[in-house]
Structure 1
C-alpha cells in the first residue's frame, strides 16, 4: 500500500497552487446539514489511522509514485515526498483532531480537523482529503443509519415490551456482507453497525472490531437455514428439511432460524410448523425463528407473527401487548430499511403485538445503499497560516448554492446547554474543546475500545 498514491489525480498539482507565503493549512470534515439524518454518529477514523497512516513511506514508494504520476500527465512533488522519508521517518507531518468516536453530533458539527506540523508541508492536509474523508464518511454513515434504526426499534420496545433494554441489542442483524463491494467495506461497515447492535452475520466485522478496537467478540449469530439447504430436500420433503433443523440445532435455551418461504410460506407456517412439527418445536425447549423472505416486506412478517400467535399462543405483558410463546419468533431479512422497520413495528403495535416478537436483518440498506451525499459529507479548508504565525480564516460561500458554504477559521466544538456547538477556536476562551488530538506525526494519541464507543453512543440517545 503506497500512501502517496492514495489520492485524486488533481491533488498532485496542488502543492504549487497555494500562496507562496503559506506555512500551514487547516481543513475539517463535517456532515453538512440537509442530509437524511439530523444527527451523525461519528465512527471509524481509528481504523484508518492504524491501518493506513501508521505505514511508513519509503524511497521505493516515492520512486513508484513519481513514475506513475508523471506518466499520468501530472507534476510530482518529489522533493516534498522525499522529505517525508528523510526528515519525518516516512510519516506524514500532520496533527489530526477529532471528536471522541461514538459521539453523536448535530449535522454541521466538525468531526475531524487536520493541519500540517512542518511548514514545508502546507499542501499535505488537503492532499490526504481523498483518503481521510473516505475513511470518515462511510463508517460514520453506516453507524448513523444503524443508530437511527436503533432509535426506531427502541421507541417501539419502550412502548410495547416489559424489558426493552434486554431485547434491543439483538433486534437488528447485519446481513450485508455479500452486498458490499469488498471484504474491507464489509469489515468497516460491519463494525460500524456493531456500535449500536450485537447481532451480525458479517464475520469480517468481528475481525475489524478485534484488530482496531480491542473487542475480542463484538457480535453474535445463530444457526440458520438458507434456501439451498432447504430446497435440496425437495418440496415433497420440506417437512423433513425443517425437522432436520430442529434435530441438528434446537435444544433448551437455543435459537435456530429457518427460512420458510421456499414454496409457500403460509402453508409452511400453518401446516408444517403449526401442525406437523408443532409438538417438536414446543418440546425442544428452545426458540424457532421463522424467516419469511419474500413478498410485501411490510405485510408478510406481520401476518407471520399473527399466524404463529394463533398456532402457538401468546401472553399479554404488563404494557398490554401480546408476546408470542417463547418457542417461536420471527425475523424479517428481505427488503429491510429503517422505513420498513418503522412500518412493520407500527402495524404490529396497531394489532396489539409487542415489538419483541420480531427481529430484522438488514443487508444492502445497511452497508451498501449509502454514499457520501447520504449525510452530505465534505472536507474543506478553513484556515491558512502565514509567516506571521497567525491563522487567517478561509472558506467557500457559493452564491449558487448557499448550502455548501464552509466554516472559516480553525474550529472548536464545545458543549453548550447540553448541545454540541461549533465555533472558531480563537473564540473558545476557557471552554473545553471536544476536538482532541488523536494523531500527530505518525503517533496514535488515543486508542478507543469498542466498549467505550458503544457506551458513548448509547448515552447519546
Structure 2
C-alpha cells in the first residue's frame, strides 16, 4: 500500500504527542522487546531483519515530514516537526537509533530480552518509543516461527519412534497452506518465511520470495503438483476415476510425488474401489508416489481409516523399528490441522503400527493466522532513560497484574557457554555501550548490534538462520 510508505506515519496516533511528555532534561531512552510467557516456553527469534530492511532503509525526507505534519494537524495531534527536521537535516534522514538483538534463528526461553532499542542523539530521545508500533510487529514472525518450531519437535518425536531415518523425513512433514487464510500479502510473506525456517514444504509463494528478498535465499521452499476439488469435480461424479487417472497421466513419473484430494464424494469408496482397484496397477506402474488427501470429517479417525484402506490395497513393508510403511502411497491431512490434532493423529496411527513417515500435514490459517500478540505475550517497554546526564531505571509494576512487571535498566542478554542458560541483566550506568559490559566467567553476550544510525550491521542468510534453529 503506497500510502503507508511514510515511516513518520508508521506509528500510533498518540505517539505523536509523546515527545512533550518526557521529563525535562531527557537525553536518551532505552527500550527492550520480550515474550512475557505464553503458550510456549521458548521462542524462535526471526523476522527483525526483514522489518528493518523493508521499513528503515529508506531515509526520511522533508516531503515525508510535510505529509506527517499536515496529517497530524488535521488528525488532532501535536507533531514534533523540529525533531523530524533534525533527523532529515543532521542525519540525512537516517534514524539515530541502535538496535541490538539475538542472532536470528536463536531459540530463547521466554522472559528474556530479545531486542533492545536505544536512541543515539540527545535531541531524539523520543524516537525509540515512536517506533514501537512498527518494531513490535516483530511478534508475528517470531510467533509463527515459534509455533512451527514446536510442531517440528512434536513430529520429530513420532518420527524418532517409528521411522528409520527421521532426519530425511522431517523437512517436508508440515506443508504451509496458509496464503489464503491470512489478513494481507505481507502477512503471507513474513509468516510463510517464518515457517520455512523449520520446514521446506510450502504452497505460499510469498514466503519463498520473502526469504529471497531479505535473507539471500534463492529457493527456500518446494511444492508438488496437487489437485483441488474443482479440478476433480469438474469431471463429474460418474467420471471421478477419470479425474484421478488424468492426475496419474499428467504427473505420475518415476520418483515423482503427486497429491490428489479424494474426498469430493466418498473418500473410503475412492480408496477402496478407485485407487485400490481400478487404478492400482497404474499407480504401481507409474513409479510415482500418490499422496491421497482427505479433506473432511474428524481428522484422527479419517486419517487412520485411510491408512488402513490404503494398506489393504497396496500393502506395506516393515521398517527397522517394526512399523508399517505403505507401498506406493501416502496420506496428507490438511483439514482441521492444529497443534492438538497433529499430536492426536500421530499418536493414533503410530499406536496402530503405522510409521509417521506415511503422513504429511498441511496447515493453513492455524499456522499463519491462528495466533496473536498474546500467544507469546509480546511487549516492548522502556527500561531506562538518561536525564541530565544520568541513567535512571524506568519500569512498571502494576499491583493488579504482576505478570506485566517490566525490566529495569539498560539490559544485556547473556548466554552460558557450557550450560546453555540465559540471563537478562542490567549493566552499569557508567558504561557507554552495552557491549562494554564484562560478563562473569562462563557467560557471553547473546545480542549483537544489528542496526545503528541507519546502517544494517548484521545481514543474516536464511541458511544461517536455519542452522541456528536446528541446533
Give the structure-1-normalised TM-score.
Answer: 0.98
- Match for residue 462 of structure 2 among 404, 425, 450: 450
2:8 alignment partner in structure 1: 4
Q: Distance in 2 between matches of 1:426 and 1:324?
A: 62
| Aligned equivalent of 1:64, options 43, 64, 67 | 67
Aligned counterparts, 1:116-195, within 5 A: 116-134=119-137, 136-195=138-197
Aligned with 1:280: secondary structure?
helix
Say if 1:342 and 1:294 are closer, same or farther in 2 by CA, change over 3 A. same
- In the other structure, the counterpart of 1:27 is 31
Matching residue of 2:226:
224
> 1:115 is matched with which residue?
118
Q: Aligned equivalents of 1:361 and 1:17: distance in 2?
A: 49
Cα distance in structure 2, aligned partners of 1:92 and 1:295: 53
Count of matched residue pairs:
455
1:403 aligns with 2:403: yes
Deviating above 2 A after TM superposition, structure 1's stretches of 4 or more consecutive aligned residues are 425-432
Of 310, 319, 329, which aligns to 1:317?
Answer: 319
How far did 1:432 drift? 2.3
Q: CA offsets, 1:63-107, max 9 Å, x none?
A: 100111111000011000111110110111100000000000001
Secondary structure at the aligned position of 2:325 is classed as strand
**CA offsets 1:188-230 (integer angstroms, 9 cap, x no match):** 0000000000000000111101000010000000000000000
Give, in whole Å, the separation in 2 of the partners of 1:115 and 1:213: 25
Match of 2:82 among 79, 84, 90: 79
- Does the alignment pair 1:435 with 2:447? yes
* 1:237 matched to 2:249: no
For residues 255-283 of structure 1, the C-alpha deviation after alignment (integer angstroms, 9 at most, x for no partner) is 00000000000000110000000000011
Shift of residue 150 of structure 1? 0.3
Moved more, 90-99 or 296-305: 296-305
Indicate which of 33, 48, 54 corresponds to 1:51. Answer: 54
- Counterpart check, 1:413 vs 2:413: yes
Q: Deviations over 1:108-163 (max 9, x none)?
A: 111110000001011000110000001x1000000001001100000110011000
Corresponding residue SS for 1:23: strand
1:271 equivalent in alignment to 2:246: no
1:303 aligns with 2:301: no
Q: Which of 100, 104, 117 lines up with 1:101 in the alignment?
A: 104
What is the SS of the residue equivalent to 1:432?
A: strand
Give the Cα–Cα distance (whole angstroms) in 2 for the partners of residues 124 and 355 of structure 1: 51
Q: 1:287 aligns with which of 286, 289, 292?
A: 289
Give 1:183 deviation, angstroms: 1.0
**Structure 2: segments with no counterpart, 5+ residues:** 430-436
